[in-house]
């Protein structure tokens, strides 16, 4: 049986899809309880997912089938119930362009009765559910159009006794922190009133967009809120397939080198740059958030997946003609949900090719959609998907975190366990040193020189923070700082030379970038390897008042605009520890 509702809106599909396909958020807004799945690997490599829960007074047990979707156009989900009023129940959502810049939205509920109650009241229950969904769709579209500040009109969540008073005190402590950035009250209000979908986990880059502040501002406020007790934080080891957090640890030192994803039925390794993410959540004494999710496998749960289809044994699914899957140019992977072979595709844009899938995974990608199809040659039902191979920048990865001054100041004891290390493919390192510091002590006296050196450390640390970097350590009169972006490192170096001129000091600076190894040294996170050595050697080539950049830094596309109007010299020198002469750029300031 089926019941359909439809609307026309004056927003294009690409603006509606992110809000209307967010099934986790919709289910929470509809009052459905969070749930977890029991995931059982099958002999053929697939995973059987079973769930239990209650809704509308009914006790439910079901097998959760994978969602099907085509990004920006369509999604469908069906649960096969063994307990409850229905044998099958699920939504079908379609989104298509309608006129100049508008969209036509169709939402349907499909069901098959399992019991007498389902036969007698199925239509009425579907009507009631559809009316709630329709109300929420209108609210979500109004939010997308900027006509309301929140997605939905929802009742206030139940809070522990005294939660608001505790949150207010914690917010004040956040604001007292040098890293609170005046966001204590706004962050506390979000914790107390926000949807659980946005709070577990709370991702600071998304929070920054919601609050209209730069990412670093929101990240620092979240770190300060952990110290104040308003938030908790954890390190998530994301699955390299579904990119979900399948293992979490309270500290870096507890994070293993790999994990198993029961949803994908694969083992995967730790990669600091891709799948180690720092996330936050409300402290339980302020806002307890239950375990599980409101929808565990909808389109926005894995937004990197552009297409996902559930194919019966022997099924051939053609998405040709007007239904062709048009994807932008980029790097894609065609794979199955169960472990097996995959095919990487460099797509030039337009209609995406079909694929032939066997029991061991994707066997071949075949022709454009006009003449191709997704074909299941395996002897069992399987899900095939097309995913974007690039990793989202929504995640706050470990290299980004440890290159933030706030993290190093607030969580200095956060280190890797002894003997552990983690590689990063790129970090920009800045080394500074004071020229003639010994003569300075003789000229002005020990006490005054000490104060001048201490003030210079504070000055440089503030500049490093302002450019999204972190002071790794000080060595005598020298500073070592790290940056995720080489352009920020160069801008920081320029700002240092401009500021130090007013302090009767001469600064030597060198900047290099490259791969490095993160280790624990002297109870703090540090960097080790040839990139560190090169950065230190280049600082040694500085004459004072200038900046020495490695060729890797000077040639970086993001750095070149920074250097456009600056006088420079191209030089080369033999450096200790390096077999060939090293070329570098000296900025003359």
- The arrangement of secondary structure in 415-587, i.e. its CATH architecture, is 2-Layer Sandwich (3.30)
* Integer Cα distance of 345 and 331 in angstroms: 6
Distance between CA 535 and CA 538 in Å, rounded?
A: 5
**Res 465 pLDDT > 90:** yes
- State pLDDT tens for residues 488-519: 999 999 999 999 988 878 999 999 999 999 99
C-beta of residue 41 within 8 angstroms of C-beta of residue 337: no
Q: What pLDDT, on the 0 to 100 scale, is given for residue 94?
A: 94
Asked whether 330 and 304 are in contact (CB, 8 A), the reply is no
Q: Is the pLDDT of residue 370 over 50?
A: no
High-pLDDT (> 70) share of the chain, %? 97
| pLDDT tops 80 at residue 179 | yes
Phi, psi of 467 (to 5 degrees): -110, 30
Q: What is the pLDDT of residue 76?
A: 94
Q: What is the 3-state secondary structure (H, E, C) of 296-330?
A: CCCHHHCCCEEEEEEECCCCEECCCHHHCCEECCE
Alpha-carbon distance of 411 to 401, in angstroms, equals 11
* pLDDT at residue 369, rounded to an integer: 44
Q: Are strands 37-41 and 276-282 parallel, antiparallel or unpaired?
A: unpaired
Q: Which of 197-201, 396-400, 411-415, 531-535 has the lowest mean pLDDT?
A: 411-415
pLDDT at 533 over 90: yes
**Cα separation of 433 and 277, whole Å?**
34
Residue whose token pair is 């920009």? 428
Burial class (CB in 10 A: 0-12, 13-18, 19+), 92: middle
pLDDT (tens digit per residue) in 378-437: 999 999 999 999 887 788 999 999 999 999 999 988 888 888 889 999 999 999 999 866
Question: What are 202's strand-pairing partners?
Answer: 280
Question: 2-144 in CATH: which number?
Answer: 3.30.530.20
Quote the mean pLDDT of the chain.
91
One-letter-per-residue 3-state SS of 440-461: HHHHHCHHHHHHHHHHHHHHHH
The residue ranges of every structural domain in the chain are: 2-144, 163-299, 305-388, 415-587
| CA gap 401, 406 in Å, rounded | 9
Q: Is the dihedral of CA 320, 321, 324, 328 positive or negative?
A: positive
In terms of DSSP bridges, do strands 374-376 and 354-358 run parallel, antiparallel, or are they unpaired?
Answer: parallel
What six digits make up the tokens of 530?
């040839």
234-262 confidence digits (pLDDT tens): 999 999 999 999 899 999 889 999 999 99
pLDDT at 545: 94
Q: Return the minimum-mean-pLDDT range out of 112-126, 268-282, 438-452.
A: 438-452
Residue 573 reports pLDDT greater than 80:
yes
In this predicted structure, what is the pLDDT of residue 117? 86
Query: Which residues have CB under 8 Å from 521's CB, separation 6+?
Result: 528
Q: Residue 321: its pLDDT value, please?
A: 55
Residues 374, 17: Cα–Cα separation, whole Å: 24
What pLDDT score was predicted for residue 368?
55
Per residue in 307-351, pLDDT (tens digit) is 999 999 999 988 765 556 788 999 999 999 999 999 999 998 888
DSSP state of 160: -
Q: Which residues contact 458 (CB under 8 A, 6 or more apart)?
A: none
**pLDDT, tens digit, 9 for 90 and up, residues 481-490:** 999 999 999 9
pLDDT of 233 strictly over 70:
yes
Confidence check: pLDDT of 92 > 90: yes
* Strands 231-238, 276-282: pairing kind: antiparallel
Q: 473: cis peptide before it, omega within 30°?
A: no
Question: Residue 164 has what pLDDT?
Answer: 96
- What mean pLDDT is predicted for residues 128-156? 93
Provide mean pLDDT across the span 455-480: 94
Question: Alpha helices of 145-274 — where are they, by DSSP H?
Answer: 163-176, 184-193, 196-199, 204-211, 215-228
* Residue that wins the pLDDT comparison between 469 and 501: 469
3-state secondary structure labels for all residues of 68-86: EEECCCEEECCEEEEECCE
- Share above pLDDT 90 across residues of the chain, in percent, rounded to a whole number: 72
């Amino acid at each position: 049986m089926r019941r359909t509702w439809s609307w026309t809106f004056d927003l294009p599909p690409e603006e509606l899809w992110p809000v209307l396909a967010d099934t986790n958020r919709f289910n929470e807004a509809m009052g459905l309880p969070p749930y977890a799945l029991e995931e059982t690997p099958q002999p053929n490599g697939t995973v059987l997912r079973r769930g239990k829960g209650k809704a509308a007074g009914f006790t439910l047990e079901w097998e959760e089938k994978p969602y099907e979707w085509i990004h920006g156009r369509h999604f469908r989900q069906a649960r096969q119930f063994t307990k409850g009023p229905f044998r099958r129940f699920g939504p079908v959502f379609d989104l298509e362009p309608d006129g100049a810049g508008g969209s036509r939205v169709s939402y349907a509920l499909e069901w098959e009765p399992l019991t007498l109650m389902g036969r007698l009241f199925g239509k009425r229950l579907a009507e009631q559910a559809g009316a709630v969904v329709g109300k929420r769709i209108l609210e979500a579209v109004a939010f997308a159009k900027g006509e309301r500040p929140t997605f939905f009109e929802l009742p206030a969540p139940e809070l522990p006794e005294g939660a608001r008073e505790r949150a207010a005190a914690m917010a004040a402590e956040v604001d007292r922190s040098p890293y609170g950035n005046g966001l204590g009250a706004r962050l506390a209000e979000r914790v107390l009133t926000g949807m659980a979908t946005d709070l577990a986990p709370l991702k600071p880059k998304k929070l920054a967009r919601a609050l209209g502040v730069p990412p670093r501002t929101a990240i620092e406020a979240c770190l300060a809120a952990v110290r104040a007790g308003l938030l908790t934080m954890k390190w998530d080891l994301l699955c390299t397939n579904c990119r979900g957090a399948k293992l979490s640890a309270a500290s870096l030192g507890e994070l293993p080198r790999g994990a198993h994803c029961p949803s994908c039925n694969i083992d995967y390794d730790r990669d600091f740059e891709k799948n180690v993410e720092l996330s936050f959540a409300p402290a339980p004494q302020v806002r307890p958030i239950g375990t599980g999710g409101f929808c565990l496998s909808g389109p926005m749960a894995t937004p990197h997946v552009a297409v996902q289809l559930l194919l019966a044994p022997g099924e051939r699914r053609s998405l040709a003609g007007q239904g062709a899957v048009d994807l932008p140019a980029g790097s894609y992977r065609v794979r199955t949900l169960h472990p097996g072979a995959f095919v990487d595709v460099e797509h030039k844009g337009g209609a995406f090719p079909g694929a032939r899938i066997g029991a061991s995974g994707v066997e071949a990608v075949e022709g454009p959609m006009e003449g191709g199809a997704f074909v299941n040659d395996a002897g069992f039902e399987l899900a095939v998907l097309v995913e974007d191979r690039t990793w989202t920048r929504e995640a706050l990865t470990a290299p980004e975190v440890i290159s933030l001054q706030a993290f190093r100041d607030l969580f200095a004891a956060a280190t890797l366990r002894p003997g552990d290390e983690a590689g990063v493919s790129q970090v920009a390192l800045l080394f500074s040193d004071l020229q003639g510091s010994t003569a300075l002590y003789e000229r002005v006296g020990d006490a005054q020189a000490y104060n001048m050196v201490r003030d210079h450390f504070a000055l440089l640390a503030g500049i490093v923070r302002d450019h999204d970097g972190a002071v790794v350590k000080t060595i005598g009169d020298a500073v070592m700082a790290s940056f995720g972006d080489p352009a920020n490192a160069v801008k920081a170096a320029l700002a240092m030379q401009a500021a130090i001129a007013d302090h009767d000091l001469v600064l030597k600076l060198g900047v290099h970038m490259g791969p490095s190894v993160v280790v624990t040294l002297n109870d703090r996170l540090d960097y080790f390897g040839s990139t560190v050595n090169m950065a230190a050697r280049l600082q040694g080539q500085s004459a004072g008042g200038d900046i020495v950049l490695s060729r890797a830094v000077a040639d970086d596309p993001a750095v070149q605009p920074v250097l456009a109007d600056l006088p420079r010299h191209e030089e080369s020198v033999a450096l200790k520890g390096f077999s060939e002469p090293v070329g570098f750029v000296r900025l003359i300031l």
